[in-house]
Amino acid sequence: MKAYISENKDRFFEELFSLLRIPSISAKAENKPDMYACAQRLCDLLMEAGADEASLYETAGNPVVFGSRILDPSFKTVLVYGHYDVQPAEPLEKWNTDPFEPVIHDDAIWGRGANDDKGQLFMHIKAFEYMLRSGKLHHNVKFLFEGEEETGSPSLPEWISRNREMLKADICLVSDTTMISESVPSINCGMRGLSYLEVKVTGPNKDLHSGHYGGAVANPITVLCEMIASLTDSDGRITVPGFYDKVVELSAEDRALLAKAPFDLEEYKKFLDIGDVRGEKGYTTLERTGIRPCLDVCGIWGGYTGEGAKTVLPSEAHAKISMRLVPDQSSSEITRLFAEHFRNIAPRYVKVEVKECEGGDGFLIPIGSDAYKAASQAIKDVYGIEPVPSRGGGSIAVLAEVQKILGIDPLLMGFGLERDTIHSPNESYLLKQFFGGMESIARFYELF
């Protein structure tokens, strides 16, 4: 595949950039037309790469792209999953280049979606194209690209249920995760689930003059801060009743295995420029993000946030709160427990509203399977190092559903790196990983 890449590199960039230029932000209603444009562009790219068919399928939300090449019914079938929607680009002022005008510099592609997940799903289209054109493909390949991953895949499970037959496969291959580092390749063997909610605290029915009322009327921002502060105790444990009931403690043996992954705490703190890490007592940093649940405030707002000093006691305060869950926790149950708890702790001088935003369960992947072994060998062949199994802290909501509905395991061959800062300004994707990923995927087809 190496030679094919160097012959076709410029075309690859052109094709990928045509996807990256489309601001397919699933969180924003105004970008609805972009979702269709991006899905259509993907269909075209699949057909050009050699698919028999590729079409848009309507859902309750954004369209699903499905394409396939069936070479021989007796061949093993690989279902490739990816998502063409991206995170919002805000805060825009922190980008060094236009998030939707991709550029290449410093050996990387820069732009929103360069890695997550347009860059990574694109590797699969090109590995497929190469295998097919070089006559080496001995698999049936199906492509499933959704446009709602960043908002929790609300429509996809239902669509998968309705199209079970069409999606039949032996394995669900996904590149939407990271490796531990450039020199430490890894394969993700588990991801966290997610519960995401928006809360609103209302104090007085209108914004008030903070001089006339300050001291006598509860300030909803202060109350929201107190409520948020109370959600974690001094040991860094989440105080929502029942939150840990389903969390299974890993055995000492499993923890020892995970501890083998190389990790340098000083490097980590330096990379983030933080004085110290902070998390649940009794766990290491890798455990805190890999095998333990957590709670984060993703956004907060209320009152006057403009220039200068407005003396106001505001009527409302809002926050977006996400919880990352371990595989044994149920997202819908945790969402319910959180909402109940948040309403219960509201003091009598405010009103509280809780809105469910998105969610999905975590999952685990067996590392003894043929598919895992083939992926491990493929990466070893390309990188020269055997990849270590790791546990990712992120969530791909729909993969637990794929496991349940289609009865097949996901296989997470992700080639992102920490330095890519996905979800943040200046998202990038190292060319070495972009091409190394394509080679590894092509090699996987040879070995599986």
Near a copy of itself in 302-361, by CB under 8 A: 302-314, 317-320, 322, 324, 347-351, 357-358
Residue 153, phi-psi category: left (phi > 0), alpha (psi -120 to 50), beta (remainder): left
97 binds a copy of itself (CB under 8 A): no
DSSP state of 375: H
**With respect to a copy of itself, which residue has the nearer C-beta, 136 or 270?**
270
441: contact with a copy of itself by CB under 8 A: no
Q: Which is nearer to a copy of itself, 4 or 196 (CB)?
A: 196
Contact residue for a copy of itself among 213, 244, 381, 408 (CB under 8 A) = 213
Beta carbon of residue 358, minimum distance to a copy of itself (angstroms, whole number)? 5
The minimum distance between CB 372 and a copy of itself, in angstroms, equals 22
Q: Site for a copy of itself (CB under 8 A): which residue of 63, 102, 119, 393?
A: 393
Site for a copy of itself in 229-268 (CB under 8 A): 229-230, 232
Give dist(CA 112, CA 102) in Å, integer: 8
Say whether residue 6 binds a copy of itself (CB under 8 A): no
- Work out how close the CB of 12 gets to a copy of itself at its nearest, in angstroms, rounded to a whole number: 26
**Chain residues 157-196 in contact with a copy of itself, contact rule CB under 8 A:** 178, 191-192, 194, 196
Check if the beta carbon of residue 140 is closer than 8 Å to that of residue 68. Answer: yes
Least separation in angstroms between residue 346's CB and a copy of itself is 10
Tell which residue, 15, 17, 55, has the closest CA to residue 36. 55
Give the whole-angstrom CA distance, residue 300 versus residue 224: 9
Least distance in Å: CB of 367 to a copy of itself? 21
Cα torsion at 21, 25, 28, 29 (round to 10°)? Answer: 70
Determine the Cα–Cα distance for residues 99 and 66; give it in Å rounded to an integer.
Answer: 27
Tell me: does residue 54 bind a copy of itself (CB under 8 A). Answer: no
Q: How far is the CB of 192 from a copy of itself (least distance, A)?
A: 6
> Is residue 194 a contact partner of residue 152, using CB atoms and an 8 Å limit?
yes
**Contact status: 93 vs a copy of itself (CB under 8 A):** no
Q: Is 277 in the site for a copy of itself (CB under 8 A)?
A: yes
* Contact call for residue 218 and a copy of itself (CB under 8 A): yes
Helix (H) or strand (E) holding 429: strand 428-430
- Rank residues 9 and 347 by Cβ distance to a copy of itself and give the closer one: 347
**CA distances from residue 237 to 302, 311, 313, 315 in whole angstroms, order as listed:** 27, 36, 32, 31
Under the criterion CB under 8 A, does residue 288 sit at the interface with a copy of itself?
A: yes
Q: Least distance from C-beta 200 to a copy of itself, angstroms?
A: 12
| Rounded CA separation 290/300 (Å) | 26
- The nearest distance, CB 291 to a copy of itself, in angstroms, is 10
111 binds a copy of itself (CB under 8 A): no
Among 113, 203, 387, 436, binds a copy of itself (CB under 8 A): 203
Of 46-54, 147-155, 160-168, 246-254, the window that binds a copy of itself (rule: CB under 8 A) is 147-155
Should residue 299 be labelled a site residue for a copy of itself when binding is judged by CB under 8 A? yes
Show the binding pattern over residues 70-89: x = contacts a copy of itself (CB under 8 A), - = does not.
-----------------xx-
Q: What order of strands is seen across the sheet that includes strand 388-390?
A: 53-57, 64-69, 139-146, 76-83, 171-174, 410-412, 186-188, 388-390
Q: Which residue number, 69 or 192, has a Cβ lying nearer to a copy of itself?
A: 192
- Residue among 192 and 443 whose Cβ is closer to a copy of itself: 192
Element (H, E) at 36: helix 32-49
Contact with a copy of itself (CB under 8 A) among 42, 228, 365, 438: 228
Quick note: the x/- pattern for a copy of itself over 398-427, rule CB under 8 A, is --------------------x--xxxxx--
Q: Residue 294: which of 247, 340, 349, 354 has the closest Cα?
A: 247
Chain positions 10 to 49 lying near a copy of itself, rule: CB under 8 A, are: 26-29
Taking CA atoms, 31 is separated from 42, 150, 242, 384, in Å, by 17, 14, 38, 42
Number of chain positions touching a copy of itself (CB under 8 A):
102
The one among 90, 233, 245, 254 contacting a copy of itself by CB under 8 A: 90
Minimal distance, residue 391 CB to a copy of itself, in Å: 11
DSSP class of residue 389 equals E
- Alpha-carbon distance of 418 to 401, in angstroms, equals 27
Length of the chain: 448
* Residue 446 buriedness (CB in 10 A; 0-12 / 13-18 / 19+): middle
Strands (E), 326-415: 351-360, 363-364, 388-390, 410-412
In degrees and rounded to multiples of 5, residue 298 shows phi and psi of -85, -20
Radius of gyration of the chain, Cα coordinates, nearest whole angstrom: 23
